[in-house]
Amino acid sequence: MTYFIYLNKILLKILAGTFIVYSIIFSKVYCNEIIGKPSIIDGDTIKILNYKIRLHGVDSPEINQLCLDKNNKQWQCGIRAKNSLNNFISNKNIKCIYNKKDRYKRFIGTCYLNEIDIQEWMVKNGWAIAYKKYSKKYVEAEIYAKNNNLGIWKGKFLEPYKWRRLNK
């Protein structure tokens, strides 16, 4: 009987140790994900719960930024970019995987609607440019949007990072 008690104690220790190891492993896998219905701040920044997330590798016109159409008429490209992102996500849950924060304490993340890369969708539809300073991942999507005159590529615009520099 004492032999079985001894075996049970050993088995409990092994199970507890295994549980702790699995908890550590899985918490590392899941600790860098934020999942939920986002509010759209602009074309490259969202908020899920109280977490602000900057979409990695893309740069979208700022809310107050204006672009020119093919007739050189100004239009609100920043607001259109925000609205396009909002319409695309359409109040659905998304998953963002992040690995760091920027100087504004926003999480830098790659976000997905189901299996669709949201950043790639924004660039490919012309509502953001590939932010080549940080990633080359979306360059092909940018070429596609530019060649097909989509979104901001319908006319002329100042790259968002340059616009921000001029409008501090």
Instruction: Give pLDDT tens digits for 23-56.
Output: 333 333 357 999 999 999 999 999 999 999 999 9
15, 68: one domain: no
The domain that holds 143 is classified in CATH as 2.40.50.90
Q: Choose between 9 and 130: higher pLDDT.
A: 130
Alpha-carbon distance of 51 to 133, in angstroms, equals 24
Q: Model-level pTM?
A: 0.81
Q: Please say whether the dihedral angle defined by the alpha carbons of residues 92, 90, 123 and 164, taken in this order, is positive or negative.
A: negative
9, 60: one domain: no
Instruction: Give pLDDT tens digits for 51-101.
Output: 999 999 999 999 999 999 999 999 999 999 999 999 999 999 999 999 899
51's torsion region: left (phi>0), alpha (psi -120 to 50) or beta?
Answer: beta
pLDDT of residue 20: 43
Domain with 54, as residue range(s), is 33-166
Q: What's the burial of 1, exposed, middle or buried (CB within 10 Å: 0-12/13-18/19+)?
A: exposed
Alpha-carbon distance of 101 to 146, in angstroms, equals 30
